[in-house]
Amino acid sequence: MKLSKNNIFSFLSGGLICLTACLSIGSSDSEKVLDGRPVVMSMTSSPDIPSSVTFCGTPIDLTRYNMREGFDREMSSFTYFHSTTMLLIKRANRYFPVIEPILKANGIPDDFKYLAVIESHLDPRVSSPARAVGMWQFLEGTGKQYGLTVTPTVDERCHVAKATEAACKYLKAAYDKYGDWANVAASYNAGMGRISGELTKQEADSTFDLWLVEETSRYVYRIMAIKQIFENPYKYGFVLRAEDLYKPIACEDVAVSSDIPDLSAFAQKYNIMYADLKRFNPWLRDRKLQTLGKTYTLQVPKENEMYYKTPNTYVHNSAWVVR
């Protein structure tokens, strides 16, 4: 069959229109796909919230709206505050072996080690704007009340073991008052006077039922949330190996009963730097030590322990690392 010029033109025109339509549809679909793509290279999902958790051996029901949402807020915060939460686990490998036996010896539930985690990020030298100092964040007057020495050259609020002993004294006194560990934990933040007053005024039995300032309202949830993550870091995206954790560093104990006029010279005598002496004895406040009739024990790190020439192998809690 012979096609006329008009037929050929019509055929080509129709084909061009169809092709243009197909390309238009394809382009539109591609744009929709591109519009739906994530604009960041990672995805964020909400952590699972259990119906209950255990704190100090007591089940805590999280099904009530305020309980679930309070816990969810802290779980989300710790889960996605990646660098800080990871650092806390690394530090715990060094400090939990000091804290845990003291809590146990004083009859304090092991879960209170997580109170130290949220109070200070396990930094024995940290100081707050309110002038609370050390791993357990004692104010000077409260620290002295519970047996800690604070002088111009000594601040035992920064002594991990002694401050833990002092914290145990407070926690036991608070438990004698409340008979409830959650209330005890809240009182560590707000004070026994505030918690007792609010329990009375609001006619409540539990700190979870109180209307409090935001910091105190979040406090116990933060302890429970960091415990949840520490018990299973991998579940919440923290992948650590034994060599990633900070190892405990063995030290020689040196008893001192007389003043040390120059701590730098003292450090040199033991073949360490002044900075090392300060890091392992953060309770030293000055360049000198005045004993004022007391005997202090200084920790001098052993030279071979101060290096990571071989990877760390000490893992305080096997749940913290992947095998």
- The helix/strand/coil state of 62 is coil
Q: Which two tokens stand for residue 64?
A: 């009530």
Going by pLDDT thresholds of 50, 70 and 90, the confidence category of residue 42 is confident
For the chain, give every domain's residue range. 52-244, 251-307
Please give the pLDDT value at position 40: 66
Helix count (H) and strand count (E) of the chain? Answer: 11, 4
Of the candidates 135, 125, 92, 121, the residue with the CA atom closest to the CA atom of residue 247 = 92
Question: How much is the mean pLDDT over the chain?
Answer: 92
Which spans in 49-121 are helix H? Answer: 65-80, 82-105, 113-120
- Following DSSP, what letter does each residue of 147-208 receive, concatenated? T--B-SSBBGGG-HHHHHHHHHHHHHHHHHHHS-HHHHHHHHHH-HHHHHHHHHHTT-SSGG
Of the candidates 145, 187, 163, the residue with the CA atom closest to the CA atom of residue 106 = 163
Going by pLDDT thresholds of 50, 70 and 90, the confidence category of residue 10 is low
**Which amino acid, residue 63?**
T
Q: Tell the CATH topology of 52-244.
A: Lysozyme (1.10.530)
Going by pLDDT thresholds of 50, 70 and 90, the confidence category of residue 43 is confident
Residue 190: pLDDT above 90? yes
Of the candidates 195, 201, 136, the residue with the CA atom closest to the CA atom of residue 162 = 136
First vs last C-alpha separation in the chain: 78
Residue 280: pLDDT above 70? yes
Of the candidates 311, 294, 237, 180, the residue with the CA atom closest to the CA atom of residue 47 = 237
